[in-house]
Amino acid sequence: MSYRDTASFGKRQEFIVIAELLRRGFDVYLTLVDDQGIDCIIRKNENCYIDVQIKARSRGAKEGDLFAGMSITPRKNYFFIFYTEEDNSFWIIPSHEVVNFGSINKSGKNKEKISLKLPKNKNSPRFKQFQKYKDGKGFELLEEFNCEE
């Protein structure tokens, strides 16, 4: 993969996710700078917004199901959308669940940051635990999100 390909990969994948949100009827606003861990904002109504962080893994990634080195301050209206290019899957997970399911790195360049490994085996208990976040079911979580609760 050339530098140009790697430099633009993240942005291309973000636009795939944003296009899917728009296709599903969400009111999406883009941020100019991702300095708060927010790639886009979904407007539910004039008083309710969802902050979204998009993470993607390419088709050729060694571990296409591993999202490492995340710094997360969980909050109610903060969601992650993980996109795996290999199987064209979207996993929409609330930030507090990413923290619960993830593991804290003990050493290395991502020490004390969170890593999350998504399940691959559809018959595993872990996959069943994550099923409510995958593709259509995950997008339903965004549709059903209520700021008042």
In this prediction, residues 57-72 reach a mean pLDDT of: 88
3-state secondary structure of 16: helix
Give the whole-number percent of the chain exceeding pLDDT 70. Answer: 95
Provide the pLDDT for residue 7: 65
Q: Which residues contact 62 (CB under 8 A, 6 or more apart)?
A: none
The candidate with the shortest Cα–Cα distance to 104, out of 113, 95, 96, is: 113
The candidate with the shortest Cα–Cα distance to 142, out of 88, 96, 78, is: 78
Q: How many other C-beta atoms can be found within 10 angstroms of the C-beta atom of residue 132? A: 13
pLDDT tier at 126, thresholds 50, 70, 90: confident
Q: Which residues contact 83 (CB under 8 A, 6 or more apart)?
A: 13, 16, 17, 54, 55, 56, 57, 89, 90, 91
Tell me the sheet residues that pair with 84. 57, 89
Residue 19: both structure tokens together: 């296009």
Residue 68: both structure tokens together: 């490492």
Provide the pLDDT for residue 58: 84
In this prediction, residues 31-40 reach a mean pLDDT of: 87
Residue 105 clears pLDDT 70, i.e. is over it? yes
Provide the pLDDT for residue 1: 57
Look at 81 and 10; give whichever has higher pLDDT.
Answer: 81
**Which phi and psi (to 5°) does residue 16 adopt?**
-60, -45
Residue 115 clears pLDDT 60, i.e. is over it? yes
Q: Which residues contact 35 (CB under 8 A, 6 or more apart)?
A: none
pLDDT tier at 110, thresholds 50, 70, 90: confident
Residue 137 clears pLDDT 90, i.e. is over it? yes
| CATH of region 3-144, choose from 3.10.620.30, 3.40.50.970, 3.40.1350.10, 3.40.47.10 | 3.40.1350.10
Provide the pLDDT for residue 3: 54
